[in-house]
Structure 1
Amino acid sequence: MKWGENVKKEIGQKIKELRLAKELTLKDLSEKADLSIGFLSQVERGMASLTVASLEKIAQVLEVDLAFFFTLPQKHEANIMRSYGQEVFSVEESKYFYRLASDLEGKSLEPVLIHLLPNQGREEISPYSHQGEEFVYVLEGILTVFMGDEEYKLNPGDSMHIFSSLPHEWANFTKKLVKVLCVRTPGIFQGDKG
């Protein structure tokens, strides 16, 4: 299961509409988001996928929360998410997110179960930073973590807790699925409330 063509087109269309509404050219957006014009053109036409890091840069330039680009899972019982009610959504082609809490309004933490598909390439790694903190616990597989200039391998039962202002990224370079529990603030779909 990969980031579907419809999702790519919807995100691309939203980016283009916002860019035009703000009277920005592709060149303007390219310079401010530090992404190539050709790549942005492909994204707007639904022909290329974005990483979370790239989409966050674009969202920042266009002055919207990351959540603006996605249809969020429906709310369930307040404070409880039943296992049968978990909805899967993909932000990147190699990562699938299962939101583990239902009512995040007014809460700072966002717990997410992330499945990283096997055989990710090193060329896909683009460390980025943002406000807040992240706690990651490896449930299954071997997770490769990049923090600053260092690279670490985390095994099942290993964890990390970082200030998200440290450039970081994680990947699955193995041939097996990697599952991690991530608790982050601000949440990926909550925007920056600070």
Structure 2
Amino acid sequence: MEPNRDLQAWLKHEAETQALIRDVPGTVLGGRLRRARLRMGLSIRDLAKMANVNKNSVVRMEGGGAPHVTTLLKVCVALGIHVASLAKPSGSENEVVVIHRASDDRWYDLTDFGAGPLGGLDRPLSSQERAAMVKKGTKTPLLILTSRLESGRLLPTVIELYQASEPRSHVGEEFVYVLEGTATVTVGQNSFDLGCGESATFWSAEEHVYAPASEAPLPVRVLSVRIDDRAS
């Protein structure tokens, strides 16, 4: 009788799971599953091993393929989550939209943002205050936008240019869009001017420098969106 009761309980669980995910598009469910995996720092291979399922099954589910209910249940058990958290997410760890308000602005120095916010954490700095700090030694004011998803790969910033930045190099890709003025962007041995509304994308492992174009009114402002290239 015990095995029969276990089977009935499992079948009931499968039916409940199917009802929960019935109205959730596969791409949405797969995206939530991927974020849950990344929050735990697991590779697809690690998760498949923990759940005792085929790696390709996890890849297919995260890619938006229709999940097999039994496989989905095994994966959720391995992640320590309930299927409901994928079907009807709640709480900050499952946020799908993160907003940066003007009151959230905190400026750093691109050459040493580890030193903390310019002028402290109390309030945003005015453009006049930032310009004064540049005169006192700040090289390249950097606004780190807080509109970043917890497990996302987009890292947006605004760079304010009064002079050439220090050369930088890091993994991933970078997209730059000129918000105001004209910027000279140097990637490796290549330099090019971008006017307001113009953009470029490059492999950011190549050494790169941002600078105001010759005779451009200061400051020049550039939106930079870096793609975090950590392995999934």
TM superposition score normalised by structure 1: 0.49
| Structure with the larger RCO, 1 or 2 (CA within 8 Å, 6+ apart) | 1
Higher helix share: 2
Q: Higher strand share goes to which structure?
A: 1
